Amino acid sequence: MTTKRTTPDGSARLIDLPVVSDPRGDLTFVEGGNHVPFDIARVYYLYNVPVDSERGGHAHKVLQQVVFALSGSFRLKVDDGTEKTEFWLRNPRQGVLIDRLIWREMDSFSQGTVCMVLASHPYDEADYIRDYNEFANTLKRPGQKFE
């Protein structure tokens, strides 16, 4: 397990958002198609997360996401079927862009963490791969097309 800014092939990588700081505080903004490489179709957030919670445990066939810790911190582990990489999220202007077909898990939440996720598509349970063996088998069929 390595801690880096990116996985070797860039399939999960840190992105830095702009910040406008003045004595009144910091302001960060994000524009779909500009700071993130897709139009933002959905925003969701996790809160009231118990510190020993383990979330994720799935990949997506098509969905791309960017994951942020707006408050607090947590660990994000990603797995492309070959390489495992971990990111520690604790800066609200820094997110991890996760491509399709990447297994992800989140844990080690600090008390009061708020995790925000920007997503490229509306919620669709059919887009999830929740079984690791199915994920591994899907990677062995690289020509497979998902709508």
Cα separation, 35 vs 32, in Å, equals 6
Stretch that binds ligand TYD, among 19-27, 39-47, 83-91, 139-147 (CB under 6 A): 39-47
Q: Which residues are catalytic?
A: 58
Both tokens of 43, joined, read 């925003």
Site string for ligand TYD, 64-103 (x = CB under 6 A): ----------------------------------------
Please report, as residue ranges, which positions from 98 to 127 form the binding site for ligand TYD (by CB under 6 A): 123
What's the min distance (Å) between Cβ of 47 and ligand TYD? 11
User: Using an 8 Å Cβ cutoff, are 118 and 34 in contact?
Assistant: no
User: In this structure, what DSSP letter does residue 125 have?
Assistant: G
Angle among Cα 108, 130, 107 to the nearest 5 degrees reads 0
Interaction between residue 45 and ligand TYD (CB under 6 A): no
